[in-house]
Amino acid sequence: MNSYNAAQAREMTSKVLIKNGRVIDPSAGLDGRLDVLVEGDSITGVSADIKLQGDAEIIDARGCIVTPGLVDCHVHLRESGRQGGEDAEKARETIRSGTRAAAKGGFTTVLCEPNTTPPVDSCKRVDELQKRIAGTGLVKTYVKASMTLDMQGQDITDIKGLSGHPLVKALSEDGNPVVEEKLMGEVCRLAAENNLPLSCHSEDSSFSLTKRSKRLGFRPGEDFHNEPNFIARDVLLAEANRAQIHLSHVSMTESLEIIRRAKKRSRTPVTCEVTPHHLLLEDSFRDPGGLRAIVNPPLRSRGDRDALLEALKEGIIDVIASDHAPHREEDKKAGTPGFIGLETTLGLVLTRLVQPGIISLMHAIRMMSSTPSAIFRLNGGSLKKGARADITVIDPEREWMVDTAKFESLSRNCPFEGWRLRGQSVAVIVGGRIVMRDGELT
């Protein structure tokens, strides 16, 4: 693909024509060699050999795959509306750097967790964050608001007020479960009443373990192995209140069985996601320096990993999300859990899941675009005529090596350093504007 000056192109035309690509759109069941025409911020045509009148920026997608814009519904960008400059840099990610990483990774939309400093727990803080996103964000950026004030697991946020904010797409307590069963039940009731999805982190955390009481709603097992217990409890509470529930980074075989049964009951919408690192790594994994890779939920056994892959093929797992968690090197050395993933997720999915035939390309795109868009009501995930022009172009044969020194993310905590991958995004269009082309960002 040729070099590109986005500013000059926007001065010349507001049209973009993507030619000769293999268009895959799960929302329309579409898979064929077609052209896609973008005018302004909308898709105005998807058909064979579109003949254009007037000027347009042409993207020759011969040999490439054209998909609805990819969506990562589990991202940490660290920067709050009150942070900036050195404070955000020290946090090892900003909205600017994180959304640039997203664009390089092929994502047109990200949905951020609320664990900034201070947490996103009120409309005022969402407004502050929205201003910073408008000023520095490169891709569409939405947020999850916290379930409790200051994410302390005690007092519930103003869920009714938050549900009316256009930036807020779900409720999350980020890396913590809501410990007390009664409090979680009330969160479910208010979420259902205000039509706001729950995005639950059902694993133990260091914080939640300090808050543990007899009011969990279940008898706890071994620390950091209570994911199935929290999932079972929270699904039942969501069903009782008719709340929509999405379960983050599922990692255990028993969790999958609970989710499978809940989906069969169909009493309330229940969806779940898995990360590339839980799909591809196991608890014996060590980084090139021989150190254990620390993340939460922890990397699990080979049996758990294999169960995740089977559930992926079966369709029990709805979404693949990165859980992009940037950290400083000194924090990782001190044991802080989490990996970055915005710039590796697509390549890992194509190389380790699609190319070996574990899942189809259509299935992969569905889990990374149309399904997360539908779950969180993001008005995306489609290439149909009239849809918003959020588009990802992928070269499935491009070979590259994971080198975090070249990443847009400010962090380097990636367990896949040095891995050789095949398949990479080569163009990203957000709202009709080309924001990345052949690795160059605008």
List, by residue number, the catalytic residues: 323
DSSP category for residue 224: T
Element housing 319 (H / E): strand 319-320
What would the two tokens of residue 121 be? 């727990």
Query: CA distances (Å), 353 to each of 99, 120, 402, in order?
Result: 25, 35, 17
Smallest CA-to-CA distance from 95 within 68, 69, 132, 52 is with: 132
Burial of 90 (0-12, 13-18, 19+ CB in 10 A): exposed
What is the spatial distance between Cα 171 and Cα 325, in angstroms, rounded to a whole number? 18
Start-to-end CA distance of the chain, whole Å, equals: 16
Residue type for 177, please? P
Residues across the chain: 442
Helices (H), 290-411: 302-314, 329-333, 345-349, 361-365, 371-375
Sheet holding 107-112, edge to edge: 70-75, 107-112, 140-146, 168-172, 198-200, 245-247, 270-274, 319-320
| Amino acid type, 385 | K
Helices (H) and strands (E) in the chain, counts: 15, 17
Answer for the pair 390, 36: CB distance below 8 angstroms, yes or no.
no
